[in-house]
Structure 1
Amino acid sequence: MIISSIEILIMILTLFALCALIKSHRSTPVFVIHLILSDLIQIICRLTHTITWSWDAYIAYDYSLIAGLYFMACVAFERYLLVSHPIWYRSHHSLKVCCVVSVIIWFVPLIFRDGYSHGLFSFLSLSIACLIPYPIIILCFVGTCCGLSCAISLTSLKRKKILGSLFLVLLTYTFLILPHVILIFITNHFRSYNHKLFEICLFFSRYLLYLNPLADCVLYMFLRPDVGGLMKSVHCCCRTDVGGLMKSVHCCCRTDVGGLMKSVHCCCRTDTHQSSTHSRDEHSRDSSAAFACCVSMQKPASHS
């Protein structure tokens, strides 16, 4: 209940922010909005199942879980088309197409429903339905990584956002969803759910699955158009502070060295001027004495 209360607050804020992106004529976050809606249904069903145990909440939880996994595959496939087939993506990708595909995805879990047990999902059908999107996500991730090296029209920031969103989807599925799916598959085939160690692993894998909605909300950060500007502003502020500090140190060093050189230069000029003045005075005294001697020699003896 503590995890669910935190997740509901964060997911409602994320839904409002994603709807604001839709209003700004951006059709990209449609699949992410449906993914978070499926996560919200999972949380509500989990709370209902915790407070009052019911089969309807259990069925709705499995249904929304399968739909959310296929929306994750849609997000990965959309990123792949944006990189590998940009012309086709820009000509066929629109808000209407995304809404139609989303409606189709909501009916996909009905294919795996077990008709003999009042709409419940058996362990085998649930594990198969959850394992199908995983190869799609891996192939889209590999194809996007290969296509990013050949994509010339995409900027470096756009490439990082595309690769980051795909890596987050793959990481979320691998570490938060896949362990629980594998344990469900083992439960169906080997009937080892009575073992104590298996029960502990299944318990922890279920709580890892409960953290999946928080990881899905992080996808909103890769869809914001101003994330790159925010990171650049922080980087520029750091560079400005360091640059200003280096400039001030450089100016202080230049001032100190310049003052020292000026003082040395002035001292040298003063000493040189004093020595030249002294030598000039001595030369003038010697010249005056020689001139007086010559005058005294040329005068008559009477006047002397």
Structure 2
Amino acid sequence: MEDVNNISQDMSYGYYSKHFETSALITQVVTCIIICIGLLLILVAIYALYSLVRKDHVAPIYVINLLISDLIQLCCMIGWVAKPKDQKIDKIVILIYGSSLMASVCFMVCIALERYLVIACPLWYRFRRTIKISVMVCVLVWIISLVFLVTQVFCGFSEVTGTILAIFFLLPLPLLIFFLVGTLKALSASISVHTDEKRRIVGMLVLVLLIYMLLFLPRIIFSLTNAARPEMFFIIVESLSFLLFKLSPLADLVLYVFMRKGAIDKLLASVCV
């Protein structure tokens, strides 16, 4: 009887091991593709958006910082693909990746807030928006993510810290929904904003919410769920949710398209008709 149980356990271990290796291989291939595509496109997008900032446009500043955080994430992915032998380096890379994800979520909220103010409070926004204020907000976001990084390096990571971090990532959801709903309600009352600009703003808010819900939310829910899970289910969901995180740099590039006037206006006009 014991021999039968041992054979069963060996078969089960081999089954899980095979699926784990397959999942790891797929994840690594997709990660390499994301790195190759994302690095070049993000650098080009940052340069193009910087030219808009020099023309005294405030809106691209948050998108630029979001792309910079994506660039840091891609650099961390390169570290994972390289598979450093030193575990300390691996842990530091994970912490840097986590802090850059925090910055990404914060900048997504900043983008949504800034776009909401354009429609809901156009006069206030026109006279109060300055590059200096936007830069200060960006610096504050980076300081918050840096404090998290330093705290984890010296204090270590625990389950409580993981739960707090997951809750932090969950907080933007009601804000993003509020900004989108508030913008839609204020659209009819806004006269000073051009129709094409309104479509672009709403499109960007919808895109930010979709990126958050499709790429960030599954991992957050998975982290907050403490119920017992089958091992195979855990491996599959763990891999998929983490892979969605890795796709966020490519998804954020679409925000660059909404910052440029031209073809996107025609597409949005055809969708809204």
TM-score, reference length from structure 1:
0.70
Q: Give me the identity figure in percent.
A: 34
> Which residue number in structure 2 is paired with residue 164 of structure 1?
203
Greater Rg over alpha carbons, structure: 1
The 1:228/1:212 distance shift into structure 2, 3 A limit, reads closer
Alignment of 1:24 with 2:55, yes or no, is: yes
Pick from 125, 131, 154 the counterpart of residue 164 of structure 2. 125
Alignment of 1:176-255 (within 5 A): 176-186=215-225, 189-190=226-227, 192=229, 195-227=231-263, 231=266
Instruction: Give 5+ residue unaligned stretches, structure 2.
Output: 1-31, 85-89
Structure 1: state its 5+ residue gaps: 236-304
* Distance apart, 1:199 and its partner CA: 1.7
**Structure 2 counterpart of 1:47, one-letter code:** I
**Amino acid aligned to 1:129:** F
Q: Letter of the aligned partner of 1:134 in structure 2?
A: L
Whole-angstrom CA distance in 2 between matches of 1:23 and 1:114: 33
TM value normalised by structure 2 = 0.78
Encode CA deviations 1:57-95: one digit per residue, 9 max, x unaligned. 010000000111000000000011111111111111011
Residue 188 of structure 2: aligned partner: 149
| C-alpha distance 105-191 of structure 1, shift in aligned 2 (>3 A) | farther
State the Cα RMSD in Å: 2.3
Question: Structure 1 residues 141 and 195, CA, compared in 2 at 3 Å: closer, same or farther?
Answer: same
Shift of 1:151: 1.0
Partners of 1:38 and 1:67 within 8 A in 2:
yes
Q: In 1, Cα distance between the equivalents of 2:130 and 2:250?
A: 27
Deviations 1:231-250 (A, max 9, x none): 39xx9xxxxxxxxxxxxxxx
Per the TM alignment, residue 125 of structure 1 is displaced from its structure 2 partner at its CA by 2.1
Q: 1:120 to 1:47 in 2, by over 3 A?
A: farther
- Cα deviations across residues 253-295 of structure 1 (Å, max 9, x unaligned)? xxxxxxxxxxxxxxxxxxxxxxxxxxxxxxxxxxxxxxxxxxx
1:6-155 paired onto structure 2 within 5 Å: 6-53=37-84, 54-109=90-145, 115=151, 118-121=154-157, 122-155=161-194
For residues 239 and 142 of structure 2, what CA distance do their matches in structure 1 show? 28
SS in 2 for 1:118: helix
**8 Å Cα contact 2:39-2:71 kept in structure 1:** yes
Q: Is the 8 A contact 2:38 2:249 kept in 1?
A: yes
Q: How does 1:268-287 map to 2 (within 5 A)?
A: none
Cα offset, 1:114, TM superposition: 8.9
Q: Distance in 2 between matches of 1:73 and 1:116?
A: 24
